[in-house]
Structure 1
Amino acid sequence: MYLKRIELHGFKSFADKSVIEFQPGITGIVGPNGCGKSNISDAVRWVLGEQSVKSLRGSNMADVIFNGSEDRKAQNVAEVTLVFDNEDRFMNVDYNEVEITRRLYRQNNEGEYLINKEPCRLKDIVDLIMDTGLGRDSLSIISQGNISTFADSKPEERRGMFEEAAGVAKYRKRKLESIRKLERTKDNLDRVEDICLELEKQITPLKRQKEKAEIYVDLKDQLQSIEVNVLVKGIESLSDSLNELNQSLDLLDKEKVTIEGQILINEQQNESLKKKMFDLDQEVNGLQGQLLTAMNNVNQLETQKVEIDANRKHILETTNKEDLEARMEQLKAILQDAISEYNDRVNRYNETKEEKLTLEAFQEKIVLK
């Protein structure tokens, strides 16, 4: 495993994207003061998870972003990528080439970590490079002042550096994590014991509640059974009532059909009676006309009778006995004919009157129906 190249864009003095290839034979990077040699080591430490702004020679983390110059405007993001050759699988990932990238945005001061262009956590990067000698505090990266710092550091701090260089830091970290897990487990066990003690205190009231609950469930089941029986009986009763009502409804439907048929027949009869009544009205009107004619004839006959009586009286007064007898005989004949015609017309009048009364009674009976 070795570092193949570094890609920098917007980090400190690297405003433009810069790629530094580490081909075989390169042993160092040289240059005049202020050309950015230290910025390369800062970039490596920054990608590997350096969080100390002081170690990166700044006042805040945004200082690692190119801040602009007289000729160039400031950048809004800083990005550095380390590309490692991993054909020997020294890093525990199944890639021949491993890219570790870190970004920082000026606007919200938020950062991103990526492994082979996939977002990840800082912890994933730390776990990946652990025991490879590339930790941010390892001896693989020694900046200005590290030697004096190492000489002046406490034994515990020097021990951490040696463990990192020797490759046992991972196991020490795992040991510390295991110890912390054991402590958390012990705390959880203590909490469980406290909970058990508290629950033991609640057992007796819970037993009473359980007995009450069992009684309640039993009574509830009985009540449910009773309610079901009541509902079943109610449903049966309602079903019988419904059947009776359906039968009554069928009978009513049949009666309705019969009544509708009878109504239709009555309507037909009514139409026939109306027609017959109309005919009878016409006939009554005709008979009334005949009656009126007969009454006129009777009046005329009575007038003629009066005239005949007057003529007879006059004749008796003016003629002799023989002529009078002859005239009497003639007048008797005429009178007899007139009386016969009068009686005939009176009989016809009475018959017409009786027939009229009969028709009027029949008409009133039809109207009442």
Structure 2
Amino acid sequence: MHLKQIEMLGFKSFPLKTTLKFSEGVTAIVGPNGCGKTNILDALRWVLGEQKPTLLRGGKMEEVIFNGTHQLKPLGMSEVTLRIINNHGVLPTEYHEVQITRRLFRSGESEYLMNKVPCRLKDISDLFADTGLGAHSYSVIQQHMIDAVISDKAEERRFLFEEAAGITKYKQRRKASMRKLEATENDFLRLKDVYAEVKTRVNSLYRQHKKAERYSKLSNQIRDWELHLGSSRIERLQREKRELRADFDSFTEQKLNSETTLDKAYACIETERQELLDVERNMTQLGNDIYSITEDAHGCERESSALNEKTTNALRLIEKNTEDIKALDNRAGVLKDQSSKTYERLDERQ
């Protein structure tokens, strides 16, 4: 088994698709500082499932995506594809060539593909377990890992030795089994709680069932009594209906008799109304005659008043004329005396 090639697109300092092919034997990558040599090693660890951004020389996982330069825009996705030749059957798969792909988007979503088929990170980890190839295996050694190998602390060297001895897979399986056992125990405890809760509900449902039975029994009894009362009420209503029908027939007959009597009364009233109209016409005629006589009397009274007034005026005029005559007679006497005196004076003068 050996590494065939690695393809990088948008990973750190590789904005364009970059393919590195590895031939059999030793392949060395040389270049000045900052040209991206370590980024290739980071890409190899990242595609194999590395989850700690600090081991990739970053603060967060999104920093592995190309962030742009003055000439190039930032990318929204980072993708690394690793191709491995499985010529000796080291990998537990039937494929001669295995292709592993990992993608990361700026939204935080990530994808894993094995031979262009979506898969889980666990599937990739299980594939490379005890093969010496993995995110934390001895096939990918960085500077801090060299320090751990030559360190005096056995705990720091133990991981690499266990990986080389091929027991890491069993330890991972043991951890997975322990996690499953803990999950099973938690599920069992939860099952007890659920059982207790369900038992409580069952008891409650049993009590409700008994209440429902009593309710059904009482409901049937109530329905029977309601039917009995309903039938009794129907019989009573029918009896009352017959009595009311008889009363209605009697009242109908009385109504007919009353209508006959009423028609006769209406006929008499009509006759009396006609007679009353004749009387009213006669009274109207008499009223008109009385009005005419009254108007004539009023006219006579007015004429009498006028004549009386004229008579009074005439009497007053007669009295006045009489007084004038008397005054004239007196004046005539006076004048006569004066004339006599005058004549006497004339006679004397003559």
The TM tier, using the shorter chain, reads: 0.5 to 0.7
Summarize the alignment of residues 210-359 of structure 1 with structure 2, pairs less than 5 Å apart. Answer: 210-217=209-216
- After TM superposition, give the deviation of residue 212 of structure 1 in Å: 3.2
Q: What is the one-letter code of the residue matched to 2:177?
A: S
Question: Distance between the aligned counterparts of 2:105 and 2:210, measured in 1?
Answer: 65
Summarize the alignment of residues 95-174 of structure 1 with structure 2, pairs less than 5 Å apart. Answer: 95-106=95-106, 108-152=107-151, 155-174=154-173
Note closer, same or farther for the CA distance 1:136–1:212 as it changes in structure 2 (3 Å cut).
same
Contact kept? 2:148, 2:157, Cα under 8 Å: no
Question: Distance between the aligned counterparts of 1:180 and 1:199, measured in 2?
Answer: 27
Question: Distance between the aligned counterparts of 2:212 and 2:154, measured in 1?
Answer: 67
User: What secondary structure is seen at the aligned counterpart in 1 of 2:43?
Assistant: helix
Contact kept? 1:131, 1:169, Cα under 8 Å: yes
The residue number in structure 2 matching 1:45 is 45
- After TM superposition, give the deviation of residue 4 of structure 1 in Å: 1.3
- After TM superposition, give the deviation of residue 185 of structure 1 in Å: 2.4
The residue number in structure 1 matching 2:12 is 12
Q: What is the one-letter code of the residue matched to 1:159?
A: R
User: What secondary structure is seen at the aligned counterpart in 2 of 1:179?
Assistant: helix
- After TM superposition, give the deviation of residue 72 of structure 1 in Å: 4.2
Note closer, same or farther for the CA distance 1:213–1:159 as it changes in structure 2 (3 Å cut).
farther
Note closer, same or farther for the CA distance 1:77–1:201 as it changes in structure 2 (3 Å cut).
closer
**What does the per-residue CA deviation read over 1:94-138, in whole Å, with 9 as the maximum and x for residues that have no partner?**
4332211112234x3433222222233322322222222212111
Question: Distance between the aligned counterparts of 1:216 and 1:154, measured in 2?
Answer: 78
- After TM superposition, give the deviation of residue 18 of structure 1 in Å: 1.8
Question: Distance between the aligned counterparts of 1:3 and 1:161, measured in 2?
Answer: 20
User: What secondary structure is seen at the aligned counterpart in 2 of 1:140?
Assistant: coil
Name the % identity.
Answer: 47
Question: Distance between the aligned counterparts of 1:64 and 1:214, measured in 2?
Answer: 69
Question: Distance between the aligned counterparts of 1:204 and 1:109, measured in 2?
Answer: 49
Note closer, same or farther for the CA distance 1:206–1:73 as it changes in structure 2 (3 Å cut).
closer
Contact kept? 1:92, 1:128, Cα under 8 Å: yes
Summarize the alignment of residues 58-77 of structure 1 with structure 2, pairs less than 5 Å apart. Answer: 58-77=58-77
Note closer, same or farther for the CA distance 1:218–1:99 as it changes in structure 2 (3 Å cut).
farther
User: What secondary structure is seen at the aligned counterpart in 2 of 1:170?
Assistant: helix
Question: Distance between the aligned counterparts of 2:54 and 2:27, measured in 1?
Answer: 25
**What does the per-residue CA deviation read over 1:135-160, in whole Å, with 9 as the maximum and x for residues that have no partner?**
21111100123211344486445333
Count how many residue pairs are aligned between Structure 1 and Structure 2. Answer: 227
- After TM superposition, give the deviation of residue 8 of structure 1 in Å: 1.4
Contact kept? 1:49, 1:122, Cα under 8 Å: yes
Contact kept? 1:49, 1:126, Cα under 8 Å: yes
Note closer, same or farther for the CA distance 1:196–1:54 as it changes in structure 2 (3 Å cut).
closer
Note closer, same or farther for the CA distance 1:192–1:64 as it changes in structure 2 (3 Å cut).
closer
Question: Distance between the aligned counterparts of 2:206 and 2:6, measured in 1?
Answer: 71
Q: What is the one-letter code of the residue matched to 2:168?
A: A
Contact kept? 1:135, 1:164, Cα under 8 Å: no
The residue number in structure 2 matching 1:81 is 81
Question: Distance between the aligned counterparts of 2:222 and 2:132, measured in 1?
Answer: 75
- TM-score, normalised with respect to structure 2: 0.54
The residue number in structure 2 matching 1:240 is none
Q: Which runs of 5+ in 1 are unaligned?
A: 234-369
- After TM superposition, give the deviation of residue 83 of structure 1 in Å: 0.7
Q: What is the one-letter code of the residue matched to 1:66?
A: F
Q: What is the one-letter code of the residue matched to 1:140?
A: S
Contact kept? 1:53, 1:59, Cα under 8 Å: yes
- After TM superposition, give the deviation of residue 28 of structure 1 in Å: 2.1
Note closer, same or farther for the CA distance 1:10–1:196 as it changes in structure 2 (3 Å cut).
closer
Note closer, same or farther for the CA distance 1:219–1:167 as it changes in structure 2 (3 Å cut).
farther
Question: Distance between the aligned counterparts of 2:194 and 2:65, measured in 1?
Answer: 53
- After TM superposition, give the deviation of residue 7 of structure 1 in Å: 0.9
Question: Distance between the aligned counterparts of 2:180 and 2:173, measured in 1?
Answer: 10
CA RMSD of aligned residues (A): 3.5
Q: What is the one-letter code of the residue matched to 1:182?
A: L
- TM-score, normalised with respect to structure 1: 0.52
Note closer, same or farther for the CA distance 1:116–1:210 as it changes in structure 2 (3 Å cut).
same
Whether 1:21 and 2:8 are equivalent positions in the alignment is no
**What does the per-residue CA deviation read over 1:199-238, in whole Å, with 9 as the maximum and x for residues that have no partner?**
6677776654443334445566x579979x99xx9xxxxx
Contact kept? 1:29, 1:37, Cα under 8 Å: no
Q: What is the one-letter code of the residue matched to 2:157?
A: R
